[in-house]
């Protein structure tokens, strides 16, 4: 016997239609819709730094870098708004989402950490196109990169380290990702205390 749907179940079609006219972004998971909160300045600085570096590197290629407003579609199960997406040769006809991300970046906050590290990680890694999933802390310096080629094992990078995003053949320093970010780790590194 099938379980009854909750009374607040939203269909994919209704969710997508609602997002077109909503002033607030919402994520969708198994028929439930969740409003998204605003971001801090540090959160936005990290996104800007990653998008700027990825976009410059991918200029004149078939790849696009999107920030925050383009959704990832995972079948009819979920729609999420990652902080940064790289998609190459995306054949999705819809202008508001992609189903074939190459890289997904999430900037962690206290309110999103649990979902980004569990539910989203599991669902993102089920996408055949995804090669790298990146989690970036905003309150401390820690960039976690999980690569399909490494069996999704986490690698952590800190100030002074370089990260190679093999999916797009780009090496980027952690310092560039945290440019202008204000937190204790960045301040200590700039004072020469973290080496």
Q: Where are the domains of the chain?
A: 39-190
Burial 83-114 (b: 16+ CB within 10 A, else e): bbbbbbebeeeeeebbbbbbbbbbbbbeebee
β partners of residue 147: 132
Pull the structure tokens for residue 149.
């080629």
pTM as predicted: 0.92
Residue 5: its pLDDT value, please?
54
Q: What is the pLDDT of residue 187?
A: 87
* Closest of 130, 74, 143, 69 to residue 104, by C-alpha: 130
For residue 96, which of 83, 84, 81 has the smallest C-alpha distance? 81
pLDDT in tens, the chain (195 residues): 444 455 689 999 999 999 999 999 999 999 999 999 888 999 999 999 999 999 999 999 999 999 989 999 999 999 999 999 999 977 777 889 999 999 999 999 888 889 899 999 999 999 999 999 999 999 999 999 999 999 999 999 999 999 999 999 999 999 999 999 999 888 888 888 765
The domain made up of 39-190 is a member of CATH 3.90.1570.10: yes
Q: Are 134 and 106 in contact (CB under 8 A)?
A: yes
Distance CA 26, CA 15 (A): 9
Distance CA 2, CA 87 (A): 37
Query: Using CA atoms, how far apart are residues 154 and 125, in angstroms rounded to an integer?
Result: 13
What tokens does 12 get? 């994919």
Cβ–Cβ under 8 Å, residues 62 and 90: no
């Amino acid at each position: 016997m099938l379980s009854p749907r909750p009374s607040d179940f939203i269909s994919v079609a209704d969710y997508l239609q609602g997002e077109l006219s909503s002033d607030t972004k919402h994520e969708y998971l198994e028929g439930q819709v969740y409003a998204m909160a605003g971001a801090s300045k540090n959160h936005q600085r990290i996104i800007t730094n990653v998008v700027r570096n990825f976009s410059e590197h991918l200029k004149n290629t078939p790849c696009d870098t999107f920030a925050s407003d383009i959704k990832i579609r995972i079948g009819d199960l979920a729609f999420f708004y990652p902080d940064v997406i790289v998609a190459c040769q995306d054949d999705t006809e819809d202008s508001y989402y992609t189903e074939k991300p190459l890289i997904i970046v999430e900037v962690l906050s206290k309110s999103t950490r649990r979902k980004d590290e569990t539910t989203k990680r599991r669902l993102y890694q089920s996408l055949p196109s995804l090669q790298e999933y990146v989690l970036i802390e905003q309150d401390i310096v820690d960039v976690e990169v999980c690569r399909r080629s490494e069996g999704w094992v986490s690698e952590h990078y800190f100030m002074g380290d370089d990260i190679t995003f093999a999916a797009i053949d780009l090496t980027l320093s952690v310092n560039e990702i945290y440019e202008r970010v204000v937190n204790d780790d960045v301040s200590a590194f700039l004072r020469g205390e973290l080496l």
